[in-house]
Amino acid sequence: MVRARPLPRRLPARRGAAHRGHRADRRLPRVDAGVSTKGATPAAPAAAPPRAEIGAVALGGALGSAGRWLVSLALPGAAGGLAWATLVVNLSGALAMGLLVAWLETRRSTHPLVRPFATVGLLGGWTTYSTLVLDVRTTLADGRAGEALLYVALTLALGVGAAVAGLSLGHRWFGGDDAHAGSVVEEDEL
C-alpha cells in the first residue's frame, strides 16, 4: 500500500487568525502521477532522537575521528603503497566492535548512552568507509588494479575476522556466550 506524505500548503488565513497565533496551514497528501492515494493514511513524522543520544554520538564521533586522523599522521601512506592507516583503523574498529558487543552482552545494565557513544559515535568516527573507497579509486586510477583488489579483499576478510575474533575474545574475557553473539546491538543501531 502506498502511503501519502504530508505536504504543507498555505491556505488563505481566516479573518483574525494571524493575530490570535493560529496557523492557516493544512496538510495535504502528496500525489504522485499514476499513484492512487485512496485508502492511504499520511505517514507519521519520525521521532527525533533524544538530545542526550545525539550529544553522545557527536562526542564519540569527534573522538573517533580525531583518533583516526592521528593514526593517519603516524602511518602516512607512501606514494604507490598500501593505505596502511585506513586498513589499521578499519580492522582495529572491527575488533573493537566485537569486543564491545561481547562486553555489552555480559552486562546486566549499562548507562543508556554507552551504546550510542561507543558504537555509532566512537567506532563510527574511528572507522572509515569513505576513505577506503577513495583509496581504492586512487589505486585504480594509478593503474594498480591488483593492489586495489587485494586491499578490498584484505579489508573485508580481515575485518570480518577481526570482528569475530573480538566477539570470541570478549566472550572469554567477559564471560559471555558465543551463541548469543550480536543480540545486544540491533542492525539499525550500527
Please write down the HEC assignment for all residues of the chain: CCCCCEEEEECCCCCCCHHHCCCCEEEEECCCCCCCCCCCCCCCCCCCCCHHHHHHHHHHHHHHHHHHHHHHHHCCCCCCCCCHHHHHHHHHHHHHHHHHHHHHHHCCCCCCCHHHHHHHHHHHHHCCHHHHHHHHHHHHHCCCHHHHHHHHHHHHHHHHHHHHHHHHHHHHHHCCCHHHCCCCCCHHHC
Q: Determine whether the annotation assigns residue 81 to a binding site.
A: no
| Total-model pTM | 0.65
pLDDT, residue 42, reads 58
Residue carrying C-alpha cell 505517514:
43
Q: Between residues 116 and 176, which one has the greater pLDDT?
A: 116
Q: Is 25 a residue whose pLDDT tops 90?
A: no
> What is the average pLDDT score of the chain?
78
Q: Which residues, including other chains, have CB under 8 Å from residue 151's CB and lie 6 or more apart?
A: 82, 83, 87, 135, 136, 139
The yes-or-no verdict on residue 37 having pLDDT over 80 is no
Q: Return the DSSP state at 127.
A: S
- In the chain, % of residues over pLDDT 90: 52
**112 or 18, which is more confident?**
112
Position with higher pLDDT, 19 vs 70? 70
Element (H or E) spanning 8, and its range? Answer: strand 6-10
3-class DSSP assignment, residue 141 = helix
Ranking 70-79, 109-118, 123-132 by mean pLDDT, the lowest is 70-79
The amino acid sitting at 117 is F
Question: Is 127 within any annotated ligand binding site?
Answer: yes
- pLDDT single digits (tens) 123-178: 999 999 888 899 999 999 999 999 999 999 999 999 999 999 999 999 999 986 65
